[in-house]
Chains A and B, each alone.
Chain A
Amino acid sequence: MPTLDREALARLADALAREARERRCFMEVCGTHTMVIARYGLRQLLPATLRLVSGPGCPVCVTAMADLDRVVSLARRPEVTLATFGDLVRVPASGTTLAAERARGADVRVVYSPRDALRLAAEQPGREVVFVGIGFETTAPTTAATLLEAEQRGLTNFSLLSLHKTMPAALRALLDLGETPLDGFLLPGHVSVVTGSECYRFLADEYGVGGVVTGFEPQDVLEGLLTLVRQERPAVAIQYRRAVRPEGNRVAQGLLAEVFEPCDADWRGLGVVPGSGLAVRERHAAHDAARRFGLEEAGPSREPAGCRCGEVLRGVLDPVDCGLFGRACTPGHPVGACMVSSEGSCAARYRYRGLQTAGGAA
């Protein structure tokens, strides 16, 4: 039946309870997984031996304050129309948000696709349209393709501010920190549609940690966990086989390589991770907002007082253990990025805080 199969969930939960004898801690690193786990109360279905923590999988949440401040400084330029995805508009920069800047007159547009930003550039030749590219390997090829289209169409008033980040480098940084003993990762399904699974092989080979590329239905998540539990030795596997191939999407990879080169990137919670960002290559400099507007440091960044999003993003602090959670910090009045983004760990946990089991989620 093409519906939420509660029997299948119960069977998977039983199998996990039977087979997960050793104490293990697994991490998911994808905001969409965070949402599915919270929505279906999947944590409550796990045996006491299994702990499931959220990592740095929400692109808006991991965007560093200094980068957000640079975005704000762009939005304040009178000639700029800034286009980006909705979550970024509400996330706190130092003492402001893009939404607040918009209320003060900045031209900030929420778009669904980078192509919408290109359309804005075509419609308003007198405006500098800057698309803020945020997201992992799922999203980066779409902005790469859009930048190339701008070149082909001679839309010189379109540029990209790339805040894109890549997942494998972040996982390496997280493991190098060694704060949370991790036994395996639920790897992000749609990132892996693009990257494939080979790029995660180092998890098993170098760190002795397993990984399973996992889909986004509740059954997928429990299957991914069961696959991790059943691994006799750490390995990288694909549960989300209906969409992900080991080699990934070669066309998308080709576009990424054409437009971007790896750069150091600043992650909230992880700090600067070498080679974990995607910078626009020199040959596309005309459409690179960072070069075009000479984005300097906007001044010292200020994290919101008491905010512990960094620890939440490293999986060392459970959202509910933050002193602000549900009190000073709620989705209506978010203090930190993880409560702003709909797929942030804190927002997901807050929204579904009443749920006990998957049965209650219906």
Chain B
Amino acid sequence: MCLALPMRITAIEGSTATIAAEGLEQECSVLLVPEAKVGDYVLVHAGFAISVIDEAEARETLALLREIGELGEAGEDEGADA
């Protein structure tokens, strides 16, 4: 439920950011992290960035999530891991 995925911000318009991870592009709100900039990695939970994190750490987490199949499962589960 409190799963949050690290994603990189590729664009920001108003309080909405375009974010990318694993070739997927989507939008999230950056209302909760006004300090976020394009290029930053953010933890995204339920469509909102909740924290700006260190880039190296983000890459590590993504690699791990890929290894354990978490990224692939997100779509299967009716969005349950929100």
Contacts and interface: CB of A to CB of B under 8 A. Distances in A.
Interface string B46-65: 11101101100101111110
Contact of A242 (B29, B57, B67, B81): B57
Interface in B11-60: 29, 31-34, 43, 45-48, 50-51, 53-54, 57, 59-60
A58 B81 CA distance: 11
A32 B1 contact: yes
A18 to B, nearest CB: 26
> In the complex, which of the residues B45, B60, B79, B82 has the most CB atoms of chain A within 10 Å of its own CB atom?
B82
Contacts of B1: 31-32, 58-60, 85, 87, 134-136, 138-139, 341, 343
Nearest to B75: A112
Contact of B82 (A136, A139, A188, A217): A139
A160 B33 CA distance: 23
A313 interface: no
Contacts of A32: 1-3
Contacts of B4: 138, 190, 193
B32 A31 contact: no
A141 B32 contact: yes
Contacts of B68: 4, 39, 361
B59 to A, nearest CB: 5
A251 interface: yes
Given A139-B1, A193-B50, A111 B67 contact: no
Nearest to A116: B47
Contacts of A138: 1-2, 4, 45, 50
Interface of A: 2-4, 30-32, 39, 58-60, 85-87, 89, 110-116, 134-136, 138-139, 141-142, 145, 188-191, 193-194, 216-217, 242-244, 249, 251-252, 255, 341-343, 361-362
